[in-house]
Amino acid sequence: MIELIKNWVISLASAALISGIARSLVPPGKMRRVVSLVCGFLTIAVMLGPLREFDLSRYSEFLVEFNSQTQAYGLSLENENARLVKAIIEERSAAYILDKAIYLGIVNSEATVETKFGEGDYPYPWSVTLGGEATAEQKEMLGRYIEAELGIPAERQYWSE
């Protein structure tokens, strides 16, 4: 299909170039008007040339194939977008938790957030695995921050030593 369009554009440009040269070689007057008319018909004939070779059934097959490829690419892009949004939310949630852990004085803190898709299109933080050297009070304070700010209840907050 692309090759057909390329050949058509080259033919059209060639016809326009030949028409321009022919018109410039003819002196002004009646003869120039006749040459202009013939050149115009030539350009129109070249422009409409692909229509005589046009196969409607082949075109409809091309449209069906193109439409299915478009849908497949759209679905692929949606999946990739969902994966990237999930990764961004997990990364930013973990960064928020680490920031709060540093604020509370937790040493060597680590956080891994897992997300889950709900009824909407976007994932939300579902659980978190935490690590670091923290006292029971620091763990409790961080757990409250996580529950209040990210909505992850205490039963889905896991500490690893």
Angle (deg, nearest 10), helices 56-104 and 136-150: 140
pLDDT, the chain, mean: 88
Q: Is residue 15 part of a domain?
A: yes
Do residues 91 and 132 both lie within one domain?
Answer: yes
Question: For residue 36, with 0-12 CB atoms within 10 Å meaning exposed, 13-18 middle and 19 or more buried, which class applies?
Answer: middle
Do residues 153 and 104 both lie within one domain?
Answer: yes
Number of domains in the chain: 2
* CATH code: domain of residue 125: 3.30.300.30
Do residues 50 and 90 both lie within one domain?
Answer: no
Above 80 in pLDDT, residue 2? no
Do residues 42 and 106 both lie within one domain?
Answer: no
The whole-model pTM stands at 0.59
Q: How many CA atoms, within 13 angstroms, populate the side-chain half-sphere of residue 68?
A: 5
pLDDT one-digit tens code per residue, 32-59:
888 888 888 888 888 888 777 777 777 8
pLDDT one-digit tens code per residue, 99-142:
999 999 988 889 999 998 877 778 899 999 998 888 889 999 99
Residue 145: the pLDDT is 92
Above 70 in pLDDT, residue 1? no
Do residues 151 and 94 both lie within one domain?
Answer: yes
Grade residue 94 by pLDDT with cuts at 50, 70 and 90: very high
For 137, phi then psi, to 5°, come to -65, -40
Q: Is residue 60 part of a domain?
A: no
Grade residue 84 by pLDDT with cuts at 50, 70 and 90: very high
Look at residues 152, 85, 158 and name the one whose alpha carbon lies nearest to residue 122: 85
Do residues 156 and 90 both lie within one domain?
Answer: yes
**CB environment 115-127: b (16+ within 10 A), e (fewer):** beeeeeeebebbe
Q: Is residue 78 part of a domain?
A: no
Do residues 49 and 90 both lie within one domain?
Answer: no
Q: Which of 37, 54, 71 is the last residue of a domain?
A: 54
Q: Is residue 72 part of a domain?
A: no
Cβ atoms 111, 128 nearer than 8 A: yes
Structure tokens at 51: 């229509």
Q: Give me the domain span that covers residue 103.
A: 86-160
What three-state secondary structure class fits 70?
Answer: helix
Q: Is residue 59 part of a domain?
A: no
